[in-house]
Amino acid sequence: MSKPNLNVEVCGVKFKNPLIAASGTYGFGREFNKLYDIATLGGISVKGLTLKPRLGNPPSRIAETPMGMLNSVGLQNPGVDAFIAEELPWLRQRDLAVIANIAGSTVDDYCQMAEKFQNQPVEMLELNISCPNVKEGGVAFGTRPESILEITRQVKRHAMQPLMVKLSPNVADIGEAALAAQEGGADAISLINTLTGMAVDVYKRRPILANVTGGLSGPAVKPVALRMVYQASHKVKIPVVGMGGIMTGEDVAAFMLCGASAVMVGTANLADPMACPRILREFEEYLARTQVSCASDLVGKLEV
């Protein structure tokens, strides 16, 4: 059998393979590019950007958990203008799709950011309305279908690139959240963002995170993520990008079988900086071993 075709497409955006570095775990790619050519990946969703620079939450901001981690970084970033001026030109020299992850405290914040990207060379916008470790904005927009629909509709009016809405798992019905994004005009959805959790130091009798709660990620959330990707993909007609605890090539296959057209690799990058090329290699070996000629042939082919 010839080498499997790894190409996938998400709402008209072509990726050389289904692996996308997840926002918040990969920076802007510079550090990882010192270890391997990041153009090995299909794409990168850059660190969450806000209209103005953010220092993020006070420390402590990270806590290890069984089979995962909690983070309460709080969207520390240099701001959208600095990204466009200093980071985007470097990224555009790499052969991979660039997704701008945008976050805000108000609807107007998101709309202004979409406008700033209108004439910029990014392939897609990822609307981050589901960050669980920021006290204002973010998660407030992502927990109710009506607010998801409204903010998606507003931002879509200002977006030139395809708009992907990143959904929170901290909802009563992920299918309704997915439908709301679609009805608001989203071109794709990505899920799941982190689950809200906390950790406690029983000797100090205090929360470990200064923000008290944070976002749980890593292998511990994978069963929840698979279930939600499966449910969401059966509710909407737009593409789904899956994430949540992907550590191996077989994990990639599982998400695609559940309905994901592509996947994002997050916490694995923090545990093993060479995770993405290893996962990609394992995924290609899986395709060859199971005699699947095209990666896209896996999408939604779970037999139930």
Q: Which positions are catalytic?
A: 131
The residues with which 235 forms a beta bridge, in sequence order, are none
Question: Which tokens is 6 given?
Answer: 């790894």
User: Rounded to the nearest 10 degrees, how much is the dihedral formed by the CA atoms of 49, 41, 221, 105?
Assistant: 10
Q: How far is CA 284 from CA 35, 37, 166, 269, in A?
A: 21, 18, 27, 19
For residue 3, the 8-state DSSP code is P
The radius of gyration of the chain's CA atoms, rounded to the nearest angstrom, is: 18
In angstroms, the CA 8 to CA 191 distance is: 18
Would strands 200-201 and 163-166 be described as parallel, antiparallel, or unpaired? unpaired
Q: What is the DSSP string of 129-187?
A: ---TT-SSSTHHHHSSHHHHHHHHHHHHTT-SS-EEEEPPS-SS-HHHHHHHHHHTT-S
Tell whether the torsion through CA atoms of 51, 141, 299 and 285 is positive or negative: positive
Contacts of 256 (CB under 8 A, 6+ apart): 18, 242, 263, 295, 298, 299
Q: What is the amino acid identity at position 89?
A: P
Give the chain's end-to-end CA distance (angstroms, integer): 28
- Residue 109: count of CB within 10 angstroms of its CB: 18
